Amino acid sequence: MKRITMILTALMISTSTFAIDSRDVSAAGFDKLSETQKAHIIGQVEQTAGNKGDQLVKDVDQWVNLGEKVGKVMGGAAKELGVAANEFSVTPLGKITMGLIVWKFMGGALIHVFGGLLILTIGFSWLFLMVRRITPVTIEYDVSKKDILGRSVKKKVSREALDDETSFGFIVAGGAVIVVSLIAMFTF
C-alpha cells in the first residue's frame, strides 16, 4: 500500500506541470455560462482540488533555480506521504523522482554535453591511433643481455617524427574534432 501511495504521489507531481491556463478556460466557453453555473463549477473545482491547484501554480511561478524546485517538489511529495523529505529522498521512488526532476530541467543539455565529450574522446583517440600507425617504429636490441625467456632485451625504441605536411593535416583534423564537439555541446 505504501508503494502504491508513493507511485500515485509521483504521478500527481509529474502531471501538475500541465496546469490549465485562464485562456484555456475562456476558450472552453466558461465565460458564456451564467453566474450561478460559474459559481457551481468553481465550487466543484475548489472541492476537488482543495485550493491546492492555485498554490501549486503560484509555487511553480516562484521557483527560480533547479535546487529550489527539487527541494519544493521533494518536500511536497514527502508531505503527501507523511514522511520527512530526507527520508523520502533516500527511498528508491524518491531517487527516481529526483532523477526525473533533474532530467526534466537538464536532460537536453546533459545529452549535448555528453555527446560533445564522446565526439572529442573518439575523435582524438582515432587521431592518436592514426599517428601511431603512420609513424614507423625503430627498435634496437642489446644482444648481449637476455631476459628470463631468453630473448634479447630492448635497448631503444624510437619513432620517426612526422613530416610537416602530415603534422599539419593532423593539426587541422584535431581542430575539426574540437569544433564539431563544441557544436554538439552548445547547440541545444
Same structural domain, 157 and 175 = yes
Mean pLDDT, residues 34-58: 64
Same-domain status, 77 and 122: no
Tell me the average pLDDT of the chain: 75
Buried-state track 133-149, b at ≥16 Cβ within 10 A, e below 16? eeeeeeeeeeeeeeeee
Task: Name the residue range of residue 114's domain.
Answer: 110-186
Same domain, 152 and 177: yes
What was the pLDDT predicted at 21?
52
Residues 168, 95 share a domain: no
Q: Which of 71, 106, 141 is the last residue of a domain?
A: 106
Q: What percentage of the chain has pLDDT greater than the value 90?
A: 20
Cα dihedral 173/174/179/180 (nearest 10): 70
What does residue 186 show for φ and ψ, rounded to 5 degrees? -110, 20
Claim to verify: residue 128 and residue 80 sit in the same structural domain: no
Per-residue pLDDT at 107:
82
Is the domain of 72 the same as that of 138? Answer: no
**Residue bearing the bigger pLDDT, 118 or 32:** 118
Residues 6 and 95 in one domain: yes
Q: Which residue has the higher pLDDT, 16 or 75?
A: 75
Both 98 and 142 in one domain: the answer is: no
Name the more confident of 101 and 188.
101
Please give the full DSSP string across 13-69, using - where no structure is assigned: HHHTTSPPPHHHHHHTTGGGS-HHHHHHHHHHHHHHHTTHHHHHHHHHHH--SHHHH
The pTM score is 0.46
Nearest to 76 by CA among 65, 60, 61, 64: 60
Question: Domain check: are 121 and 45 in the same one?
Answer: no
Q: Give per-residue pLDDT as tens, 69-128.
A: 666 666 666 666 555 666 666 778 778 877 887 788 778 888 899 999 999 999 999 999
